[in-house]
Amino acid sequence: MLDGIKNKVAIVTGAGRGIGQGVAIRLAKEGAKLVINDRDQEPLDHTIDLIKSAGGDVVGVAASVTDDDIGDQLAKAAIERFGDIHIVVPAAGFLWDGMIHKMSNEQFDTIINVHLGGTFKVVRDTFKVMRENARLEKEKGVTVPARRIVTISSLSGFGNLGQANYSAAKAGIAGLTRTVAIEGAMFNVLANSLAFGLIDTRMTRPIESQQEFVDGAVQGIPESARNKALDEIPLHRAGTIEEAVGPIVFFCSDLATYATGALLEINGGVHIT
Ligand SMILES: NC(=O)c1ccc[n+]([C@@H]2O[C@H](COP(=O)([O-])OP(=O)(O)OC[C@H]3O[C@@H](n4cnc5c(N)ncnc54)[C@H](O)[C@@H]3O)[C@@H](O)[C@H]2O)c1
């Protein structure tokens, strides 16, 4: 077991699939109490079943992270059921790729709203609670525990073909996280971000081998582009969901009490050659 997670209250968005699901299950295994979200009820229920059948304590909130009050919905669920918030991992999102000369305003705004807007709303309203609880603890002279926000940026945040919208959102998440780290430091709210490369999920599997759409936008990467990306990765493979979950959970644990404002790149070695 990792120190710093047992009995803590964690909120994870996009927990119906992929990285968010993996994080929710791992945090539950480490003894956290969970509030999990996804826009799709069925996969959300599946994650809830997996956590409950392993003896975990979990509440689901089926909603879109683009809802104006999503942060309040999640914070309310955590406070009503568990009384506090210690860990927040916004991992919801999807792709709507296209070259910039063909990208519509709607295509740009949709992806900015789900990734950057969704992360902002969830972080703002949960941070409000974490900050206030830390302030009260300080006032009482109680030790203020580390509370943690772990956001998901991307290698694409440094620029990627066909992803002007997603790249802008992911670069934005890195800046947002560093600002939260500055504003949260005096309350022991630590904020860190992961920039993942190619992790094997619905978002990155070959389009040709899956028929997955979100609001009409195809999910996945054309096989040829995916193979080219794999060629450029020194480890020559995509990462697994577990390999993405590990570094996220590291930032959620007491292994990382002195880390804040960090952007950790986990990408199989891209940029080292
Ligand atoms: N897979 C990768 O290679 C990779 C790399 C870098 C960053 N990321 C990021 O990791 C996060 C998780 O992605 P994944 O790869 O696990 O994808 P995924 O498609 O497997 O899971 C994403 C989940 O988010 C949910 N979701 C989508 N829009 C939502 C909304 N508006 N409100 C609530 N839930 C919503 C989906 O229903 C899905 O269950 C995303 O932020 C993604 O951008 C992924």
pLDDT one-digit tens code per residue, 94-118: 999 999 999 999 999 999 999 999 9
Distance (Å, whole) CA 30 – CA 207: 34
Q: What is the pTM of this model?
A: 0.98
- Measured CA to CA in angstroms, residue 132 lies from 52, 85, 185 at distances of 30, 11, 13
Query: Cα–Cα distance between 56 and 73 in angstroms, integer?
Result: 21
Ligand 1 centroid vs 18 CA: distance in angstroms?
Answer: 7
Atom of ligand 1 nearest to the CA of 94: 27
Class of domain 9-266: alpha beta
Specify whether 258 is catalytic.
no
Contact between 67 and 125 (Cβ < 8 Å) = no
18 lines ligand 1 (CB under 6 A): yes
Report the separation in Å between the CA atom of 94 and the middle of ligand 1, taken as the mean of its atom positions. 5
Q: Given pLDDT bands bounded at 50, 70 and 90, which one contains residue 271? A: confident
pLDDT tens for 14-47 read 999 999 999 999 999 999 999 999 999 999 999 9
Which tokens in the block code for residue 229?
Answer: 């990306």
Q: What is the dihedral of CA 134, 136, 137, 141, to 10 degrees?
A: 140
In this predicted structure, the answer to whether residue 273 has a pLDDT above a threshold of 70 is: no
